[in-house]
Amino acid sequence: MFPKPLLAAGLLTAAALPAAGEGLDDAVTSFALDNGMQVVVVEDHRAPVVQQMVWYRAGSADEPKGESGVAHFLEHLMFKGTDTMAPGELSATVAANGGDDNAFTSYDYTAYFQRVAADRLELMMKMESDRMVNLRLDEGDIATERDVILEERNQRTENNPRALFGEQMSAVQYYNSRYGVPVIGWKHEMAALDLDDALSFYRTYYAPNNAILVVSGDVDPGAVKALAERYYGAIPANPDLPDRLRASEPPQTAARRLTFRDARVAQPYVSRSYLAAERDPGAQEKAAALYLLADILGSGTTSYLAERLQFDEKLAVYTGAFYNGTSLDKTTFDIAVVPQEGISLQETEAALDGALADFLREGVDPEQLERIKLQLRAAQIYQLDNVDGIGNRYGAALAIGLTIEDVRDWPGILQAVTAEDIMAAAREVLRPESSVTGWLMRDQEVTQ
């Protein structure tokens, strides 16, 4: 739950930056293939490299009940072979061509990517389109790779009290939504995943009409289109692709708390999560206000919580607030406070609640808001240097149902948020009834 990477924006003067929404449009071309596959091309000719990403609109929250982890399991299995490609051949080919490749799974999507020299794009498309439909798996692959993902869970989660704590927090936060189940899966369900589970997920969701191709780098949109039609366009749409139905949350009307004890905890802390609205197509204003609220409350040493709890009251060594609205369903707004040695979690939580209550009374400091907006504009410019980041931004947004227009509008919407918008969002999101408060504790800690 923390720390998440903080925005690494330097300090710039306002004069050095373009005004809100000005001159920052990415060179984006978008079209659809006849089989329904969406294609986005982001031109960037500064270096002769290209990144191909294929995003499937299928993540852990789309898994059948009892099969948690199958989306991520399939992501691993996708590096096995096809009729014409040996197991591992795709990655080996990328490496032999001096590139790199990988994949990742989230609640709402699974994505595969390669970064290679621009003239290798066709080869990448040939291979990526091949494994979209021709994957060949056998029981041996299943047994081997299941051990790999179990070991991955072991390393990332079982051996990490913070991760285990986060799992319990999410499970308590969501009553109905699959976001309460970890992306990597519950261990007992991972251990039972089999070939049928993997193939069923693959055949249901891996199809051009459920995929988004994002090509960014030193490419010509016309050439990309011709290649995409040749390789991906040849694959028929899956006519049985199910509607993307998600179980949404009922009213959350009870403030929840949990305590998680683990002898391995190095640093006890208080975590608080609130159920929060997500970015929706054509309606990103509330998410934008929450985004800025997180920055104001808990991003960096000049944030409200840092000034109050770290510097004024000297109770905490770290404070943070986090919000990422790029989510298909309702998400969370999170706060973490790590107390100074000798300060109890009870005192820490009371101080956090006191600070939040005061913030709701005092409102937003206009100077801080301006400073944050300036930093966002700066960050946006830096982002232009990162062609991978652009691919990620478009891919993730489109995979959760946002449009290219929404992605382009987002920086301007952030800049247009007012102090009043932020306070309205704060009053709406900071409701005890929809919150979970967690204490991560060492075994020997007393509760009160």
* Residue placing its CB nearer to a second copy in the complex, 260 or 333: 260
Instruction: State the nearest-atom distance from the C-beta of 344 to a second copy, in Å.
Output: 14
Residues 6+ apart with CB under 8 A from 312: none
Instruction: State the nearest-atom distance from the C-beta of 157 to a second copy, in Å.
Output: 11
Whether the Cβ atoms of residue 303 and residue 203 lie closer than 8 Å to each other: no
Closest listed residue to residue 97, CA positions, set 52, 145, 133, 56: 52
Q: How far apart are CA 282 and CA 291, in angstroms?
A: 16
By the rule CB under 8 A, 201 interacts with a second copy: no
Q: How far apart are CA 44 and CA 52, in angstroms?
A: 13
Closest listed residue to residue 185, CA positions, set 203, 171, 200, 205: 171
Per the omega criterion (within 30 degrees of 0), is the bond before 3 cis? yes
* Residue placing its CB nearer to a second copy in the complex, 65 or 361: 65
Q: Among 91, 176, 340, 383, which residue sits at the site for a second copy (rule: CB under 8 A)?
A: 176
Site track for a second copy across 396-435, x = CB under 8 A: ------------------------------------xx--
Q: Among 10, 188, 239, 342, which residue sits at the site for a second copy (rule: CB under 8 A)?
A: 188
By the rule CB under 8 A, 181 interacts with a second copy: yes
Q: How far apart are CA 184 and CA 73, in angstroms?
A: 8
Instruction: State the nearest-atom distance from the C-beta of 172 to a second copy, in Å.
Output: 6
By the rule CB under 8 A, 65 interacts with a second copy: yes
Q: How far apart are CA 268 and CA 61, in angstroms?
A: 30
Instruction: State the nearest-atom distance from the C-beta of 260 to a second copy, in Å.
Output: 4
By the rule CB under 8 A, 204 interacts with a second copy: no
Rg of the chain, C-alpha, whole Å = 23
Q: How far apart are CA 431 and CA 106, in angstroms?
A: 27
By the rule CB under 8 A, 171 interacts with a second copy: yes
From 29-37, 51-59, 252-260, 316-324, span contacting a second copy (CB under 8 A): 252-260
Q: How far apart are CA 192 and CA 416, in angstroms?
A: 49
Q: Which residues of 398-414 are buried (b: 16+ CB within 10 A; e: fewer)?
A: bbbebebebbbbbbebb
75 is catalytic: yes
Q: Among 84, 248, 302, 418, which residue sits at the site for a second copy (rule: CB under 8 A)?
A: 248
Site track for a second copy across 274-313, x = CB under 8 A: ----------------------------------------
Q: How far apart are CA 62 and CA 214, in angstroms?
A: 22
* Residue placing its CB nearer to a second copy in the complex, 89 or 167: 167
Q: Which residues of 258-275 are buried (b: 16+ CB within 10 A; e: fewer)?
A: eebbeeebeebbbbbbbb
Neighbours of 348 (CB within 10 A): 22
By the rule CB under 8 A, 254 interacts with a second copy: yes
Q: Among 52, 110, 114, 252, which residue sits at the site for a second copy (rule: CB under 8 A)?
A: 252
Q: Hey, what are 147's tokens?
A: 């051990």
Where does residue 425 rank: exposed (0-12), middle (13-18), buried (19+ CB within 10 A)?
buried
From 134-142, 176-184, 304-312, 417-425, span contacting a second copy (CB under 8 A): 176-184
Closest listed residue to residue 260, CA positions, set 438, 423, 45, 140: 438
* Residue placing its CB nearer to a second copy in the complex, 336 or 364: 336
Q: Among 126, 225, 256, 408, which residue sits at the site for a second copy (rule: CB under 8 A)?
A: 256
Closest listed residue to residue 297, CA positions, set 383, 375, 358: 358
Q: Which of 63, 67, 75, 89 is catalytic?
A: 75
Q: Among 35, 259, 344, 368, which residue sits at the site for a second copy (rule: CB under 8 A)?
A: 259
By the rule CB under 8 A, 357 interacts with a second copy: no
By the rule CB under 8 A, 361 interacts with a second copy: no
Instruction: State the nearest-atom distance from the C-beta of 273 to a second copy, in Å.
Output: 13
Instruction: State the nearest-atom distance from the C-beta of 436 to a second copy, in Å.
Output: 9
State which of positions 217-246 bind a second copy (CB under 8 A): 245-246
Identity of the residue numbered 334: D
Q: How far apart are CA 144 and CA 158, in angstroms?
A: 20
Q: Among 5, 10, 239, 250, which residue sits at the site for a second copy (rule: CB under 8 A)?
A: 250
Instruction: State the nearest-atom distance from the C-beta of 140 to a second copy, in Å.
Output: 25
Instruction: State the nearest-atom distance from the C-beta of 280 to a second copy, in Å.
Output: 17
Active site members: 75
Q: Which residues bind a second copy (CB under 8 A)?
A: 65-66, 68, 164-165, 167-169, 171-172, 175-176, 178, 180-181, 186-189, 245-248, 250-261, 432-433, 438
